[in-house]
Amino acid sequence: MVDQTSFNQKNRERIQAVENSFGASGRSLMEPGRVLIGEGRLLKLCRRRPKQKVFYLFNDILVYGSIVLSGKWHQKQQIIPLEEVEQEDLEDGLGMVNQWLLRSPRKSFPVAAASPEEKQAWMDHIEESRRQQIARLGLKSEMRGSFAATWIPDSASAICMRCSERFGVTQRRHHCRRCGFIVCNSCSKGRTLLENISSKPVRVCQLCMSTLQAEQQENQAQSRSWSNCRWKKDSVEDNPYVLNDNVSSDEECEELAESNAPTQWANSQDSSWSPYCYFNPDHTKPASLTA
């Protein structure tokens, strides 16, 4: 049995080492109750080709970034809350084997491990950590928002997936942020706000823009209809609180999300406690992370 005090100290040292590896550009990772479960290197399918990234799995977040100097220097830190993650098994393809899909509201992308065993270990550890995080936060596992579209790799199409115009030196590839399709500039001049992806308007294709505009008009019509209905009911019953008994499911989700309980330090008697591990034993342990 690993001594809990010793484990807590080593856990803090490892988290600090991970934080330091991202330098000043990375966010602070030291949080009360946060435990570093393990680390490894995975191939992440990027728009041009698969790239090796370093991934760190904590008990509440998944962190990844680009490798500059193995084990010592990383950049482009990305953090995904585990309660927002969904995984999907994928067959081999697109130049990657042992792959699966990671979905989140902000980003969705395929990743691949070095072996089927390592893939399964990653998926199991992520799912178990996600399940425990949802329980700690008091959320329902099915209460998740919209997931970001998975971008189709540039190499998957030589033509615009909307107008079939061939790409070339003067006709660049772009991606619709809503559907993930590869489109030309003419077919993606629209910009709209997708709150789960960015706080600023992002590029979307003409079809998605039309769909979003239609949905907006429908929502506005429903809102006007609901306002008229509420006005009539309030004027008859003269009770401004009568509608508060029926809280929408969206509002319930927001209330649950706002009532997050703080994570507690794991201990050896807790089922959520697990020793730190490297997912790929063939990886050389970075000197800065050696316990």
Q: What is the pLDDT along the chain (291 residues), one digit of tens a residue?
A: 557 888 889 999 999 999 999 999 899 999 999 999 999 999 999 988 899 999 999 999 999 999 998 778 999 999 999 999 999 999 998 689 999 999 999 999 999 999 999 999 999 999 999 999 999 999 876 655 689 999 999 988 999 999 999 999 999 999 999 999 999 999 999 999 998 888 899 999 999 999 999 988 888 877 776 666 554 444 434 433 222 333 233 323 332 333 333 222 233 334 444 566 776 644 444 434 443
- Domains of the chain with CATH codes: 4-146+263-289 (2.30.29.30)
- pTM, 2 dp: 0.73
pLDDT of residue 175: 95
- Give Cα 73 distance to the centre of its chain: 23
Cα separation, 64 vs 7, whole angstroms: 23
Q: List, in sequence order, every beta strand (DSSP E) within 162-271.
A: 174-175, 182-183, 190-192, 202-204
Secondary structure (DSSP) of 9-60: HHHHHHHHHHHHHTGGGSPP---TT--EEEEEEEEEE-SSSEEEEEEEEESS
For 178, counting Cβ atoms within 10 Å of its Cβ (0-12 exposed, 13-18 middle, 19+ buried), the class is: buried
pLDDT of residue 114: 92
**Coil, helix or strand for 175?**
strand
* Angle in degrees, CA 4, 8, 12, rounded to 5: 170
- Contact assessment for residue 282 and residue 169, using Cβ atoms and an 8 Å cutoff: no
pLDDT of residue 243: 28
For 150, counting Cβ atoms within 10 Å of its Cβ (0-12 exposed, 13-18 middle, 19+ buried), the class is: middle
pLDDT of residue 94: 66
Total residue count of the chain as it appears in this document: 291
pLDDT of residue 72: 82
